[in-house]
Amino acid sequence: MAKRLIFILNTALLCSAIHRPNFVLFLADDLGIGDVGCFGNDTLRTPNIDRLAATGAKLTHHIAAASVCTPSRAAFLTGRLPIRMGMAGTDRPIMFLLLSSPAGLPTSEITFAQLAKNEGYQIALIGKWHLGMNCEWGDDHCHHPNKYGFDYFYGLPLSNGLDCDPNEARSFGNYLVRMLYGDCHLFEISVALYVGFLALRYFGFFHLQWKTLIIFSLLYWSAMTSPYVLLTNGRRYVCIIMRDGDVVEQPLDISTIAPKMTAEAVKYIEQAQRKNSPFLIEIAYSNPHTALVPAPQFRGASRHGLYGDSVEEMDWSVGVVMATLEKLGLTENTFVYFTSDNGGHRESGHEGGWNGVYKGGKGQGGSEGGIRVPTVMQWPRKIKGGTTVREPTSQMDILPTMAGLIGARLPADRPMDGRDLMPLVEGQTDISPHEFMFHYCGRYLHAVRYRPRQGNTTWKVHYITNKLEPGIEGCRTDVLCMCEGDNKVTHHRPPLLYDVTNDPSEIRPISVQSDAKCGDIIARIEKGVEDHRNSLTEVEDQFKPSNFIPRPWMQPCCNVPFCSCTDDIDLSGLPFSRIEN
């Protein structure tokens, strides 16, 4: 009897081991849902992403947990809302801007990479992290991807912002320089103070020896000019590439990032295959986030300027990775997921970042255009080709879905916001696992989505909306919209109510007064919000103002003190010719 039981257990274990898929998770940066072919775009070419949808599932109602990168990525990795882990700020900035800051994803959080590692997977992050680096010193790496389950990391510890473009005048550093030295006249004020100081000494108001005066002058002038030097060299301090713990390129050359990431991803998959080990690889592109500097092979190739070129470069890379899986016979049992960290950036003024029929964009926590993201899944073994999932789903669902597939137990000591998606994607159920979804902007609850357990309608209420400028779906005077502030947002009491199933563009608010049924929907949502608020606990705010003061001793730097190096990966083996599809 016991023998028989052991036999059954063994067989069960063996079967689950055979069926445990590999994972390839593609994450685009600021890609709009209207930029992708299979979501209705007929001029931007994304054949490789479209193919994933055709041979797998297209998720037309897939929601990012936040409308900007840092909190959205934190939620994706952990299956939990950013507000639960202090990754939701009170005001701008609501994303990390420095590498020399102790802000980061709290180490008490558990990522999907850690779950998979415990189950014997090999795990890599290729690309953008943007969730912190150090706590105290330049190399303690307390927030490094290696500390969150990733065995291998190659990519950008921060981001590919405007600072990274050598030709870009609109960078954050330049913005601060203009503010300090232009608007606030820091330089003129320094000169006036210095002249006044010399005059006071000349007329004998105090006495100072020459030696002291010279030392004072040197200190004074370096203090007054060093912000200028630091800020105008922002590119060197935030735009870097690391391989595991080492800085390998500083400042980075954007035009080579996507090809380098592609080469690294191919290499990683090949070696995982040689070791015969299940693997999980997250490929987090910096495309098509500004700055836009695609590789020469893609420049001018699209019909939508540098933006379109950048999207097509990314799609090419997806194609190379998929061809590698095919070549190694891994397609059948690899779970592939493609999504974007948030919607298109309407204010950035380039020729894309188009959110289709959805209102608003990046930075607007409750706007559909900021959070409904182009998403496809492929796993031939379990997902039928040509599936369309129209029910609301979330990026936070990936962790629980993966846990279910690999037999990992979910952390039981904390509320999870993600749900297992497999029953919905496989067609065993036709209703979203989410009754409520909460849409924050920073730490302010802007909107709530409600999918009643009966009927076919998904409702959405807006408590707070951004004051948009007509015509651009964004806040032109700012780089991004603000989450709070009387002249920045409008509060709605009673909230605006939309039927997003039949009115996805949210242009016909439903009058709550005239319809008793709507009052009931709002009351049920309020109850959902109350339960949700009761599940939140007080945590340390990673976006507190002191976390935005640079700490030079925490700055990652190669070839100290020059902070200068180049990573020469051989890219000659990449099939660039495959771009004309």
Ligand X SMILES: *[C@@H]1O[C@H](CO)[C@@H](O)[C@H](O)[C@H]1NC(C)=O
- What residues line the site for ligand X (CB under 6 A)? 34-35, 40-44, 304, 308, 352, 354, 356, 455-456
SS3 content of the chain, % helix, strand, coil (to 5): 40, 15, 45
| Shortest distance, position 59 Cβ to ligand X, whole Å | 16
DSSP one-letter string for 14-82: HHHHHHPPEEEEEEESS--GGGSGGGT-SSS--HHHHHHHHHSEEETTEE-SSSSHHHHHHHHHHTS-G
Q: Give the DSSP letter of residue 99.
A: S
SS3 220: helix
Q: Is-contact 567 260, C-beta < 8 A?
A: yes
Task: Closer to ligand X by CB, 109 or 506: give it.
Answer: 506
Q: Which of 384, 386, 390 is nearest to 430 (CA)?
A: 390
State the residue number with the nearest CB to ligand X.
Answer: 352
Q: How far is the CB of 304 from ligand X (least distance, A)?
A: 4
At 56, the amino acid letter reads G
In the complex, least distance from residue 43 CB atom to ligand X, rounded to whole angstroms: 5
CB of 515 to ligand X, least distance (A): 18
Minimal distance, residue 167 CB to ligand X, in Å: 22
- Residue 48 or residue 256: which is nearer to ligand X going by CB? 48
- What are the CB-based long-range contacts (under 8 Å, 24+) for 445-452? 445/529, 446/364, 446/365, 446/366, 446/483, 447/365, 447/366, 448/525, 448/528, 448/529, 449/63, 449/392, 449/500, 450/521, 450/524, 450/525, 450/528, 451/391, 451/392, 452/521, 452/524
Residue placing its CB nearer to ligand X in the complex, 250 or 348: 348
**Cα distance between residue 249 and residue 93, in whole Å:** 26
User: Could you count the other beta carbons within 10 Å of the beta carbon of residue 4?
Assistant: 8
State which residue, 34 or 138, has the beta carbon closest to ligand X.
Answer: 34
CA distance 461 to 459: 7
Q: Could you tell me which residues come within 8 angstroms of residue 324 by beta carbon, excluding any fewer than 6 positions away?
A: 265, 266, 269, 270
- Please report how close the Cβ of residue 36 comes to ligand X at its closest, in angstroms: 8
Question: For ligand X, which is the closer residue by CB, 34 or 104?
Answer: 34
What SS3 class is residue 182?
helix
- Looking at the Cβ atoms of 10 and 502, the one nearer to ligand X is 502
Shorter beta-carbon distance to ligand X: residue 308 or 363: 308
**Which tokens go with 295?**
């590789």
Catalytically active residues are 69, 130
Q: State the minimum distance, in angstroms, from the CB of residue 33 to ligand X.
A: 9
Distant-in-sequence, close-in-space partners of 517: CB < 8 Å, separation ≥ 6: none
